[in-house]
């Protein structure tokens, strides 16, 4: 496999510089697809039956009340609105319960993409929130969580 400029930058730039360079103006087509086709229908009461039918067995135990409660009660003030809804969706899907993880532990973990493995990201979600391009970095990580492949 050839070494790319991005690979070199990953080694040579600081984490804030790297995230700024590669995530400040990143293509969010995948994120928009996820939000439009998967996350938003869970938030629209009139589309919930369709949402559950589309996901089938995977969402058999999805908890809309837990999702809404998480959104209303948790301090999600550092996140953009779309990311708040995505994270609350994870709560409704059982992400935190099934991974035996609190929200606070998750946003402070360098293992937030797959809490069941020892692999670490370069930065925690909480750290990324303060970086230029950090919100887009978080968006890209959320749609690629190991959770979706289970």
> Tens digit of pLDDT for each residue in 1-21?
788 998 899 899 999 999 999
Whether pLDDT at 42 is above 80: yes
The Cα diameter of the chain in Å comes to: 50
Q: How far apart are CA 52 and CA 126, in angstroms?
A: 31
| Helices 15-23 and 134-142, axial angle in degrees (round to 10) | 70
Percent of the chain past pLDDT 90, that is, above it, reads: 73
Give the tokens for residue 6: 């991005």
- For the cut 90, the answer to whether the pLDDT of residue 56 exceeds it is no
**Residue 46 burial (CB < 10 Å; 0-12/13-18/19+)?**
exposed
Contact 126, 93 (CB under 8 A): no
Distance CA 134, CA 148 (A): 22
User: Are residues 135 and 129 in contact, defined by beta-carbon separation less than 8 angstroms?
Assistant: yes
Q: Is the pLDDT of residue 115 over 80?
A: no
pLDDT at position 118: 67
> Which pTM value belongs to this model?
0.90
Arithmetic mean of pLDDT, 61-79? 95
Lowest mean pLDDT among 13-27, 88-102, 106-120: 106-120
pLDDT above 70 as % of the chain: 97
- Residue pair 9/22 in contact by the 8 Å Cβ criterion: yes
- Tell me the three state secondary structure of residue 25: coil
Torsion of CA 37, 116, 121, 1, to 10 degrees: -80
């Amino acid at each position: 496999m050839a070494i790319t400029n991005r690979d070199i930058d990953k080694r040579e730039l600081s984490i804030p510089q790297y995230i700024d360079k590669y995530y400040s103006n990143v293509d969010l087509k995948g994120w928009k697809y996820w939000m439009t086709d998967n996350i938003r229908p869970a938030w629209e009461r009139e589309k919930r039956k369709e949402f559950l039918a589309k996901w089938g067995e995977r969402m058999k135990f999805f908890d809309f009340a837990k999702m809404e409660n998480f959104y209303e009660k948790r301090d999600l003030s550092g996140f953009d609105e779309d990311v708040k809804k995505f994270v609350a969706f994870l709560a409704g899907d059982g992400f935190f319960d099934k991974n035996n993880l609190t929200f606070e532990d998750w946003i402070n973990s360098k293992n937030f993409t797959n809490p069941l493995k020892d692999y670490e990201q370069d930065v925690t979600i909480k750290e990324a929130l303060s970086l230029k391009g950090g919100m887009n970095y978080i968006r890209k990580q959320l749609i690629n969580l190991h959770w979706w492949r289970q």
